[in-house]
Structure 1
């Protein structure tokens, strides 16, 4: 399967952007992602929607997936 955004050379990410309600912090599941802009991500979820909940709520101070700036 080919990605039409890749073929069109549109700046985008194949990862999922996970948004945390506290402070609007967001992280991407793709380790190569360098920009957490919502426009670049087709998949955006609230951390509360993650199966099993979010580690940020259960274990304060625990490292998350990866912070994007």
Structure 2
């Protein structure tokens, strides 16, 4: 079963965008995310997210995709 956005062929992401306002960037939990922009994500959370956040890790060790 596909989501409505997939069926309509709308550019979107199924990951969660984690916004780091103090550090000035956002990351997506989906490693296949093509563009971590807010408009592509239905799920957006502020850092720190419940359960911990990768922003405390060194940037090169982060598992999330950074927005440019």
Distance, in Å, in 2 between the alignment partners of 1:15 and 1:30 is 5
Higher fraction of strand: 2
Give the count of matched residue pairs: 65
Report if aligned partners of 2:36, 2:65 keep a CA contact under 8 Å in 1. Answer: no
Return the alpha-carbon distance in structure 1 between the equivalents of residues 3 and 24 of structure 2: 29
CA offset digits 1:5-37 (Å, max 9, x no partner): 000011100000000122430010111112111
On the 8 A contact 1:14/1:30 being kept in 2, the answer is yes
Structure 1 length-normalised TM: 0.77
Unaligned runs of at least 5 residues, structure 1: none
| Runs of 4+ off more than 3 Å | none
State the Cα RMSD in Å. 1.7
The structure with the largest alpha-carbon Rg is 1
Normalising by structure 2, report the TM-score: 0.78
